[in-house]
Amino acid sequence: MIFTKYKKISVEWFNMLAGNIFSKLPDEYAIFLDQIRDGLVSAVYKPGFASTYKPNYIGVGFNPDIAKKYDALKDREPADIDKYELSRGFCLSGIEIYNQKEKRYVEIELSFCDGLFCGIDSAEKLNMFAYDNENIVINNLARRTKS
């Protein structure tokens, strides 16, 4: 049996990638770039660790002080929470990053919950170390609410 060591994704590298993605998104998503710049992400979990039903999902851990600052439900009346768009989780698709190793683009999906950036998913296994974190294309950006 051959064992391969998992290479830990550094928070700094992940934040650089996320920041580059958010800087290319429409202005309505600028708050997520602010979250990255303020240090929201304190840990990055290996693919599949943060989700059993999404084996390629790369989740993040939050700095609690920064998370409180951006919590979409903070200071809202209970009757207004259901009406507030960011209180429901959503995903953004139509984002592609370039795989340098395979010389092709791979589509990714960003996940959000309670107004916080939560992670990155893809239909295929992501080897984050093979990607050019500055070569990002936004095509047909689509937003869907999580069920």
Prediction pTM value: 0.81
pLDDT tens, residue order, the chain (147 aa): 333 334 567 888 889 989 999 999 999 899 999 999 999 999 998 776 756 667 888 889 999 999 988 876 566 555 555 555 555 689 999 999 998 888 999 999 999 988 899 999 988 877 767 778 789 999 899 998 875
Amino acid at 95: I
Kindly list the distances between the CA atom of residue 62 and the CA atoms of 5, 44, 126, in Å, as whole numbers in the listed order: 25, 9, 22
